[in-house]
Amino acid sequence: MARDVLSIGQVRIHSGSATREEAMKEAADILEAAGAVTSAYFDAMQQREQTVSTYMGNELAIPHGTNETKAAILDSALSVVRYDGGVDWGGEPVTFVIGIAGKGDEHLEILSQIAILFSDEDDVARLKAAQSPEELYQLVSASGV
């Protein structure tokens, strides 16, 4: 990415599990704390999830808003949360929840980089093995995200 959309404060690791709604709320809260979205973005994520699942495969979900809710996006940013206990994402097992907010069309480039990273099972295994948020941040950042 041309700009940094991820900082160390936007990366978390939880030893336990979460519900899909809790995971989406945390993703939205991190993006809001980063100044990338308004408080309306969580509702936008829920609207998107009602129309189409944001489960992407390989233990990854990428909750994001709808085109109609672009006004809730102030800047492009990511949140990366790993739930070692897993998240039941509409019947699919998820370990990584990456919240995304893209200003304009920037979300397409960000999504592309994430898709490349998570398409490689060895990369996913490295992300799962990261011992700290700092290590996870370094691995995600090194991928070009």
Active site residues: 64
Is the torsion defined by CA of 127, 131, 133, 138 positive or negative?
negative
Token pair for 35? 């100044």
Give the CB-side neighbour count of residue 70, counting CA atoms within 13 A. Answer: 8
User: How many C-alpha atoms does 143 have within 13 Å on its Cβ side?
Assistant: 25
3-state SS class at 66:
coil
